[in-house]
């Protein structure tokens, strides 16, 4: 069977380089008995990308089409955009050429709103729920009887049906995902940015953060790939495809730390020269561990404490304390040569003015603490089903049980953030401060460090 796998269009081109569709490459690798191609509209200008898709569909002549819905929206209150609205135009292009072609959808964005998406877009025939490496090949063998395949949404007599839950696959048994020229043009993802190309060392997340979808999407049990296999993939990216940087797309790279260390030690042992980034937890990180990351090529780490007080951390079900955040800041400061980003939320359950001012202090303290390499990201929690904060928001009246969580436009999206009325003054303070930071402070600081480092003949970590 000829299968075209299409990455969802993000609808905008806010960065120069598209993110590599690693999820579709895993699916393509699993479809070893089929002829597969991957089309990424994000590697073309918008909206000319739909003409390119039209050309590719006519050239490839698929027997079936799969669309990965990765993002429903930006999840950013200060950058509202509904990316889901590009899915219908993608379907329209396919149906214009092959009106009877069956369409499968999947992806993380799809799985969070699986039934709702099939009900909203009647031209979709099947939905692959959660991880699709085992489900998709089985579904292609049972298109006339999808009820036989666990993990599939399908239609019967005009109704959306579900075939039932299936166990998560054994991630450690998967082959290195395909990135060969027959599948896609990897040169489109050559970039000076480290976060365009993804590598996955594990699936699952042991934490229970109240706002997060990762435990729902990949379960809490960790499924680890062998460190040697992970490094085989990295070595292939560097030697065969000329990749200069990548990011670990694991939810938390240093849990378990033993696994992260083994990957780094193997990279050092093989002498692989490549820059990369990862997300880590602030709890119990050491100078020794960070120096190992740096030696292995790590140049960017992200930490997501989200709250600054013990009360806030407990409300978000974080597995560390405010003291852990302070200690992590003192630790990362000692290890030069790595850019460090801390993320915090501007609203969370129980947040008071004291928390707000602590976050604002860190907004300035961290860049001053680590000049040229430290930064802070602030945002609001985008409420989603399948987590504890969703239930809290209903109890507090931020939303109600009938609120449509799959927005049709930016106006609907703006109502889906955790912004309780009791914290309206905090929201106003952050809105004013972030406006000043984005329009004045950040451009000034970046210009300053770019200029200083160019005079010194060095590359600034802000460049990437």
Residue that is written with structure tokens 């260390």 in the block: 261
> What's the rounded mean pLDDT across residues 360-369?
93
- pLDDT of res. 443: 82
Q: What pLDDT is stored for residue 108 in this prediction?
A: 98
- The pLDDT, as a whole number, for residue 222 is 97
Q: Would you say residue 243 has pLDDT above 80?
A: yes
State the alpha helices, DSSP H only, in 130-192: 135-140
pLDDT at residue number 16: 85
**Spatial CA neighbour of 392 closest among 347, 436, 338, 458:** 347
Residue 387's pLDDT is 95
pLDDT digits (tens, 9 = 90+) for 409-460: 999 999 999 999 999 999 999 999 999 988 887 788 777 777 877 787 776 6
The secondary structure element, H or E, covering residue 115 is helix 114-120
Give me the numbers of helices (H) and strands (E) for the chain, helices first please: 17, 15
CA distance 110 to 112: 6
The confidence band for 462, taking pLDDT boundaries of 50, 70 and 90, is low
Residue 463 has pLDDT above 70, yes or no: no
- DSSP state for residue 414 in the 8-state scheme: T
Model confidence at 461: pLDDT above 60: no
Lowest-pLDDT choice from 75-84, 89-98, 268-277, 443-452? 443-452
Alpha-carbon torsion, ordered 94, 26, 22, 105, to 10 deg: 30
Write out pLDDT tens, residues 264-321.
999 999 999 999 999 999 999 999 999 999 999 999 999 999 999 999 999 999 999 9
Instruction: Show Cβ contacts of residue 135 under 8 Å, excluding neighbours closer than 6 positions.
Output: 128, 129, 149, 150, 151, 152, 166
Q: What is the mean pLDDT of residues 225-245?
A: 98
Write down the pTM of the prediction: 0.94
What is the DSSP secondary structure assignment for residue 417, as one 8-state letter?
B
Give the pLDDT confidence score for residue 446 in this predicted structure: 76
CB 10 within 8 A of CB 71: yes
Residue 28 contacts residue 5 (beta carbons within 8 Å): yes
114-143 pLDDT, tens digit per residue, is 999 999 999 999 999 999 999 999 999 999
Q: How confident is the model at residue 184 (pLDDT cuts 50, 70, 90)?
A: very high
Question: Residue 172 carries which DSSP code?
Answer: G
464 has pLDDT over 60: no
CATH topology classification for 190-381: pyruvate-formate lyase- activating enzyme (3.80.30)
pLDDT in tens, 373-423: 999 999 999 999 999 999 999 999 999 999 999 999 999 999 999 999 999
In the numeric block, the tokens 């927005």 are attached to 407
Q: Is the preceding omega at residue 292 within 30 degrees of 0, hence cis?
A: no
Q: Is 227 in a helix, a strand, or coil?
A: helix
Res 241 pLDDT > 80: yes
**Roughly how many angstroms between the first and final C-alpha of the chain, as a whole number?**
41
**Where exactly are the structural domains of the chain?**
2-162, 190-381
Alpha carbon distance 202, 278 (integer Å): 12
**CATH (residue range 2-162):** 3.40.50.280
Count of positions (residues) in the chain: 464
Assigned token pair, 262: 């083994």
- CA 450/CA 448 separation, integer angstroms: 6
Distance in angstroms (rounded) separating the CA atoms of residues 366 and 373: 9
| Residue 372: predicted pLDDT | 84
What are the start-end ranges of the E strands in 24-120? 35-39, 64-68, 102-106
Report the pLDDT averaged over residues 332-351: 96
More confident residue, 442 or 216: 216
């Amino acid at each position: 069977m000829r299968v075209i796998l299409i990455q969802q269009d993000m609808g905008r081109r806010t960065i120069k380089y598209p993110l590599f569709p690693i999820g579709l490459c895993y699916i393509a690798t699993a479809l070893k008995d089929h002829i597969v191609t991957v089309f990424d509209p994000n590697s073309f200008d918008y909206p000319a990308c739909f003409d390119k898709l039209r050309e590719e569909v006519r050239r490839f002549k698929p027997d079936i089409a799969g669309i990965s819905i990765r993002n429903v929206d930006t999840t950013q209150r200060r950058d509202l955009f509904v990316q889901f609205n590009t899915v219908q135009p993608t379907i329209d292009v396919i149906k214009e050429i092959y009106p009877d072609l069956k369409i499968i959808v999947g992806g993380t964005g799809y799985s969070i709103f699986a039934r709702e998406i099939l009900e909203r877009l009647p031209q979709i025939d099947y939905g692959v729920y959660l991880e699709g490496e085992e489900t998709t090949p089985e579904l292609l063998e049972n298109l006339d009887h999808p009820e036989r395949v666990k993990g599939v949404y399908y239609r019967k007599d005009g109704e959306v049906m579900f075939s039932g839950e299936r166990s998560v696959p054994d991630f450690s048994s998967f082959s290195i995902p395909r990135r060969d020229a027959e599948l896609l043009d990897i040169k489109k993802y050559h970039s000076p940015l480290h976060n365009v190309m993804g590598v996955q060392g594990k699936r699952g997340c042991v934490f229970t953060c109240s706002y997060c979808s990762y435990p729902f999407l990949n379960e809490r049990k960790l499924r680890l790939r062998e460190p040697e296999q992970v490094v085989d993939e990295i070595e292939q990216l560097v030697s065969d495809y000329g990749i200069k940087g990548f990011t670990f797309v694991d939810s938390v790279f240093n849990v378990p730390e033993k696994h992260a260390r083994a990957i780094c030690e193997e990279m050092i042992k093989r002498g692989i020269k490549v820059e990369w980034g990862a997300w880590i937890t602030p709890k119990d990180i050491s100078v020794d561990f960070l120096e190992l990351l740096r030696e292995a090529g790590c140049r960017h780490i992200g930490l997501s404490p989200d709250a600054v007080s013990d009360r806030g951390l407990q409300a978000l079900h974080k597995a560390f304390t405010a003291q852990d955040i302070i200690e992590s800041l003192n630790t990362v400061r000692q290890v030069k040569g790595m850019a460090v980003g801390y993320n915090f939320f501007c609203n969370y359950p129980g947040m008071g003015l004291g928390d707000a001012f602590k976050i604002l202090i860190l907004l300035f303290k961290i860049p001053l603490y680590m000049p040229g390499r430290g930064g802070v990201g602030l945002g609001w929690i985008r409420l989603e089903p399948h987590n504890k904060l969703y239930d809290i928001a209903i109890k507090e009246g931020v939303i109600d049980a009938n609120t449509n969580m799959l927005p049709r436009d930016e106006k609907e999206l703006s109502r889906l953030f955790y912004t309780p009325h009791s914290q309206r003054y905090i929201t106003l303070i952050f809105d004013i401060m972030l406006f000043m930071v984005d329009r004045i402070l950040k451009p000034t600081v970046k210009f300053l460090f770019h200029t200083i480092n160019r005079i010194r003949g060095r590359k600034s970590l802000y460049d990437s």
